[in-house]
Amino acid sequence: MLFPTIDFAVFFVVVFTGSWILRPHRRAWRWFILAASCVFYGWWDWNFLYLLLASIGINWLFGVVIHRALTPDGERTPLSIWLVRAAVVVNLGILGYFKYFSFFVSAVADRLDSLGISVSAPVLRIVLPVGISFFTFQALSYVIDIGRGHWRRPLPLLDFAVYLSFFAHLVAGPIVRASEFVPQLDHIPDPRYVRASEAFMLIFRGMFKKVVISSFLATQIVDPVFRLPGAYDRWEVLWAIYAYAIQIYADFSGYTDIAIGVALLLGIRFPLNFDAPYTATSLQDFWRRWHMTLSRWLRDYLYIPLGGNRGSKLFTYRNLFLVMLLGGLWHGANWTFVIWGSIHGGYLIGERVVKERWVGHERGVPPRVVKVLQWFLTFNVVCLAWVFFRAPSVSDAFAVLWRLVVGTGSDANVTLLLILVVLASLASQFVPERFPKRAERWFGGLAPILQIAALALGLVMIDALGPEGVAPFIYFQF
């Protein structure tokens, strides 16, 4: 079920009404939200609902047995450590089967074929369940935190089921941890003090990003250029690359804005997932601002367990590269994502090396000039990596990049409107936070009837500016 659709609007009206009627009745409310989340997830394919329910049952059981294996003081034991490892293997095994089995089988078959050994790879129609990476990572964070002794007792099954299946973050994040979500289940918010104005602003902003900005850039230049790069000149290809950087930001941050707003209307607050990532002056800063919940997950459950920066420089560089490589592979079973992660990992290492040697050797370069150059370099490296993220294959990605060098011809597809949309979208990230906050306070000061009228007018405008139909969010494929 897509957010910007009539189906979801009807669904949410029912859920919103039922949620606030049942909220004082804690157990009934939990069952209602669980049922609603199952309907939301099963809307695509009811068969995948069994996978979600199985993940809930398996990880809840792991949480129980891991907690029992800890010492009375919550300290780890050899048994608890092995149980956590087993939980990780089971979760990654399920994820790997659906997401990576065909990729690895094909890769092995291609490698053997290059050695002269003909192998017929099995042909399996494995359909990727929507959002499997997101709810698997959330389940892993819970069982690992149990194993670390962060929970005094395991969650009741119903609470854990609501946490893992909650429809607003189920299929594309943000990756909400149980410690951030579950304490809110026992808090009964007063409907008179729900942050409705903030929620409405988030929903409107998310809808505008997805339906207007992302869809316009996709249809205007990104999809045509990446589909057939040889038909376009270098100027069109360059703007298509920049446009995709804006498209994927508008698409994904638009989804999370809507998700955060929807949850807020139900009295649940999610963590922030984006913070003007294209203002970053380093790739490290970029990952503090882009998909922040994934960045923190990779740091806490992968980078630090690998050793983090506690060893030598080479050891730290290895960990950085491995984390970004695996982060790339998390996005999909394709060599393009491996290269995308490798670019980020390699640049993060290079960034550290340069900073260590640069400090104290600025030679009078004005700090503002240095900052602008750092921003320009970071933004373009991110855009370069996005080419591999967007392209269907490695050869397609290089075909796009090659056109930057040799592309000649007409640049008719680069219109003034396209350039303005890209530049305005990029410039909007540099707007100080106080201005959106002022707009939110102004909106919140309006009478409820005026708020509803303004939101309705805004949605009509979005519908008029948007294309016919709404494409799935980009991150649904992950």
Rounded CA separation 373/367 (Å): 10
Q: How far apart are the first and last CA of the chain?
A: 16
How many of the other CB atoms lie within 10 Å of CB of 297?
Answer: 22
Give the residue ranges of DSSP H helices in 70-195: 78-114, 132-147, 157-165, 167-170, 178-181
**Residue where the block lists tokens 């294959």:** 393
Q: CA 7, 267, 133, 316 torsion: positive or negative?
A: positive
What is the rounded (10 degree) CA torsion for 70, 71, 77, 82?
-10
**Residue 234, burial from CB neighbour count under 10 angstroms (0-12, 13-18, 19+):** middle
Q: Cα angle at 393 between 391 and 399, to 5 degrees?
A: 70
DSSP string, 337-390: HHHHHHHHHHHHHHHHHHHHHHTT--TT--HHHHHHHHHHHHHHHHHHHHHHHH
How many of the other CB atoms lie within 10 Å of CB of 184?
Answer: 16
- Burial profile 97-106: b = 16 or more Cβ within 10 angstroms, e = fewer: ebbbebbeee
Rounded CA separation 351/224 (Å): 34
Verify whether residue 150 is a known catalytic residue. Answer: no
Q: Which of 67, 169, 291, 331 is labelled catalytic?
A: 331
Contact assessment for residue 235 and residue 414, using Cβ atoms and an 8 Å cutoff: yes
Q: Maximum Cα–Cα distance for the chain, whole Å?
A: 74
Question: Residue 210: how many CA atoms within 13 Å on its side-chain side?
Answer: 27
The secondary structure of residue 191, as a DSSP letter, is G
Contact assessment for residue 42 and residue 48, using Cβ atoms and an 8 Å cutoff: yes
Q: Helix count (H) and strand count (E) of the chain?
A: 22, 0
One-letter amino acid at 341 equals G
On the question of a cis peptide bond just before residue 72, with omega within 30 degrees of 0, the verdict is no
Cα 373 to chain centroid, rounded:
28
Catalytic residue positions, numbered:
331
